[in-house]
Amino acid sequence: MTEADLPLVAALETELFGAEAWSAALLADELAAAGGPGADRAYAVVEQAPAAGQAAADRAALLGYAGLWYGDGRGDADLLTIATAPAARRRGVATLLLDHLLAEARRRGCEHVLLEVRASNTGAQALYARHGFEALGTRRRYYTAPDEDALVMRLRLGPG
């Protein structure tokens, strides 16, 4: 993800998450924390290349984005966000993003990856289960728009 992606990411964030969407300013801060010598997180996007014959200056279509906090790499990582544009669902975009971020967590030396997912989001839970995540418990009323519990899931990457 680059700064040039932020307007499209912010628009998709609002479309998908409504009242719980991260603001454009927060997304910019998150991206800034992913760069430089003190970086402790990674963000990625999947884009569809412009069609043949489109001007080179045309932006590619944003299909999805995701972020991971890995800290100093000596403990657990957290999947911060993962989102797929509605028109791109069931085409492997979330799998591509998740595989990329799990590889980054492994590269950084993290032992586990943790995440929270809406209790009603069975599609995402199935994706995580296919990647080896296991349910640990529930965070009551973790989500607020609307109020809903979160299922906490964890994937073991290394020894420990």
Lowest mean pLDDT among 49-53, 77-81, 107-111: 49-53
Asked if the structure places residue 122 within a domain, the reply is yes
Instruction: Summarize the confidence of residues 84-97 as an average pLDDT.
Output: 95
159 pLDDT tier (thresholds 50, 70, 90): low
Q: Please give the pLDDT value at position 59.
A: 60
Tokens of 106: 């492994």
Residue that wins the pLDDT comparison between 120 and 74: 120
Domain for residue 88, yes or no?
A: yes
- Does the residue 76 lie in any domain? yes
The pLDDT, as a whole number, for residue 158 is 74
pLDDT > 70 fraction of the chain, expressed in percent and rounded: 94
* Amino acid identity, position 131: H
Strands 61-69 and 41-48, sheet pairing: antiparallel
Domain that holds residue 28: 3-50+61-156
Q: How many CB atoms lie within 10 A of CB 80?
A: 17
Instruction: Kindly state whether residue 42 falls inside one of the protein's structural domains.
Output: yes
Q: What is the pLDDT of residue 72?
A: 87
Residue 70 forms part of a structural domain = yes
- Rounded Cα–Cα distance for residues 111 and 25 (Å): 31
Give the three-class secondary structure for 119. Answer: coil
Which CATH number belongs to the domain containing residue 143 in this structure? 3.40.630.30
> With 90 as the cut, is the pLDDT of residue 40 above it?
yes
Provide the domain count of the chain: 1
Any domain includes 55: no
